[in-house]
Structure 1
Amino acid sequence: MKKSALILALLMCLAILAGCSNSTQQDAPAPSTGTDAPAPDDSASTPEPDDQLAAIQKAGKLVVGVEGTYYPFTFHDETTNELTGYDIEVAKAIAAQMGVEVEFVESEWDSLLVALDTGRLDTVINDVTATEERREKYDFSDNYFYSARQVVVKTGNEVGLHSLEDLNGKKIATNATNSWVGRLEELGVEIVPIDNTDQCATMVETGRVDFCMFNTIVLGEYMIQHPEAELEVAFVIEDDINEVAIPARKGEERFLNEINTALQSLRDDGTLLELSMKYFGANYCDDPRVK
């Protein structure tokens, strides 16, 4: 009897242990296979660009450095004292294309590019020639103005000047400080000294000399003041052309692309040509080397 009770008790203990084991296995969490890992949150927004264009758009303004004393690019109207000029209107038009206001900061020329370096200015729009030396330090927009040295003759070009080779044996009215005097003498040109632009133009018109050489800006201003002048451009000296563009600090690609897009729009809708005619009396927004 005692032996039967002992066996029965042993069997009951085994049954209880088996039940506990099954319960433990059922309650234990299944090992992770990786398929239940939380999915990445694709709703997170892409970080906003942190560059000059973003800063301009956030501020709502384009800060432009100008001289304010450089006629006819940036100057003050004598009557209203309003800041105006070719580059002032170009800058305003670019800012409008970008959807921001423009703020002009006036300073002496020597300090303008320094202010661009330090970030006090977004750019300088003040007849900035994109020289090779400057291109090493700054990125530049597409050219929007061309300042060239031109051979100018009396209307009709009866003297038949079409290239530098044609200048041999001809007379030029120019001042002694003209940087081209030495080269002109090498070309066989006779130098007739004068003191100012008016004298130069008059001597060409009266036939006392065959030609003169005017910079784009000088000729444009003279023709606006003397619309009756019988002068025309015989040809442009192609290795003496200043390409004017808009500088930006190195690496600001989005800003520069925005400037180029604006300039192309102003070129396409005729704004650049209209401003060139207004301030210079001729088209200086197109490359004179492209026929």
Structure 2
Amino acid sequence: MKKRLLVFCSLLAVLVLSACGSSNDDSAEQASEDKVWEAIQDSGKITVGTSGTLYPASYYPEGSDDITGYDVEVIKEIAKRLDLEVEFKTSDFNNMLASVQNGRVDLAANDIGVTDERKGKFAYSEPYKYSYTTMIVRKDDLSGINSLEDLKGKKAGGEATTGYSEIAEELGAEVVAYGNTTNDVYLRDVDNGRTDLIINDYYLQSLALQAFSDFNITIHPDFKFDETANAAIMPKEATELKKQVDKVLSEMREDGTLTKLSEEFFGGADVSKQPDEDIPTVDEVLEQQQEEEK
């Protein structure tokens, strides 16, 4: 009887210790998940990575030291509603993501596309911009591109590691990588023949064409593909920060703030809503072209 009682007590102790261990582990995990948000609350400030060179998402108006743009103003409004100060740190895209991972910034906002690959490394806010992908080429000859297969051997301007550069590489183009460079540099290089094309967001490219109408460039009339969603990006473990940001974004969508900001920076267009038309994927465009060639 004593032996049975001893065994029972031992098992009970193991269960209690296991339960305590589980509780402690959960608490530790929760604490770890809350570190980013706790640090923000302690400092009263949120630090944001952005480029400052991507019109109209994140840029400095000529003659001004004050950063603005659609993404920038969305983040400013989020910070305001969370009663936080906001500090922007500018860098190229690659360093921006590294800064999120190493804790130099709390989140990044710079027309950042939502991709499955990044979802494995980061947390995303709810999207606040929707668009699709287009291609800038020379106006007089479309840079010799009549089908997506013609991209083989062409030079595509872009930042290394972006989804648009990956598309260009997958289609056989050589990516000419730039650092944190303003739009006019990319566009001028297509105009003068240093590069042949730029694959990027439709709305950004449309406004770029308006801003530099003297360049011999246009959006290719035959290609639109890959519907996109853009959002702020933050550390994977920043669950409370994501929760707070998403809550404010939902309020901004409902009260019309996102629409108002979008129309201000995108020439009256509401990029906070998904496109009405069906946009094919780049693979579907390729398949259709191959069928037409048979």
Partner of residue 162, structure 1: none
Which residue pairs with 1:125 in the alignment? 109
AA in 1 matched with 2:272: C
- Cα pair distance change 1:99/1:110, threshold 3 Å: same
**% identical equivalent positions:** 30
Is the deviation greater in 49-58 or in 109-118?
49-58
Q: Do the aligned partners of 1:224 and 1:280 also contact (CA within 8 Å) in 2?
A: no
Pick the structure with greater CA Rg: 1
**Residue 269 of structure 1: how far off its partner (Å):** 1.5
Kindly provide the amino acid, as one letter, of the partner of residue 176 in structure 1.
Answer: G
Kept in 2: contact 1:150–1:235 (CA 8 A): no
* Residue 259 of structure 1, CA deviation: 0.7
State the shift of 1:221 in Å.
4.7
Counterpart of 2:124 in structure 1 is 140
Shift of 1:246: 1.2
Q: 1:174 aligns with which of 129, 142, 153?
A: 142
1:65-91 C-alpha deviation (Å, 9 max, x unpaired): 111111111111112232111111111
Q: Which residue of 1 aligns with 2:39?
A: 55
Whether 2:235 is the aligned partner of 1:267: answer no
Q: Which residue of 2 aligns with 1:279?
A: 265
- Please give the secondary structure, in 2, of the residue aligned with 1:63: strand
Coordinate RMSD, CA, aligned: 3.9
1:241 corresponds in structure 2 to 227
Aligned residue identity for 2:228? N
Q: How far did residue 178 of structure 1 move?
A: 8.2
Residues 147 and 114 of structure 1: is their aligned pair in 2 closer, same or farther, counting only changes over 3 Å?
Answer: same
Question: How has the CA–CA distance of structure 1 residues 283 and 181 changed in structure 2, closer, same or farther, with 3 Å as cutoff?
Answer: farther
Moved more, 281-290 or 215-224: 215-224
TM-score, normalised with respect to structure 1: 0.57
Distance 1:106 1:224, change over 3 A: closer
Contact 1:62 1:101 in 2 (8 A): yes
Distance of 1:276 and 1:173 partners within structure 2: 33
Between Structure 1 and Structure 2, which shows a larger proportion of helix residues?
Answer: 2
In 1, Cα distance between the equivalents of 2:146 and 2:236? 35
The amino acid across from 2:70 in the alignment is Y
Amino acid at match of 1:90: V
Change in 2 beyond 3 A, CA 1:262/1:289: same
Q: In the comparison of the two structures, how many residue pairs are matched?
A: 197
Partner of 1:169: none
Q: Return the alpha-carbon distance in structure 1 between the equivalents of residues 201 and 122 of structure 2.
A: 29
Q: Which runs of 5+ in 1 are unaligned?
A: 1-45, 152-171, 184-195, 198-212, 227-233
Change (3 A) 1:274 1:76: same
| Matching residue of 1:257 | 243
Is the 8 Å Cα contact of residues 146 and 287 (structure 1) preserved in structure 2? yes
Q: Against the structure 1 CA distance between its residues 262 and 225, is the aligned structure 2 distance closer, same or farther, given a 3 Å change threshold? A: farther
TM-score of the aligned structures, taking structure 2 as reference length: 0.57
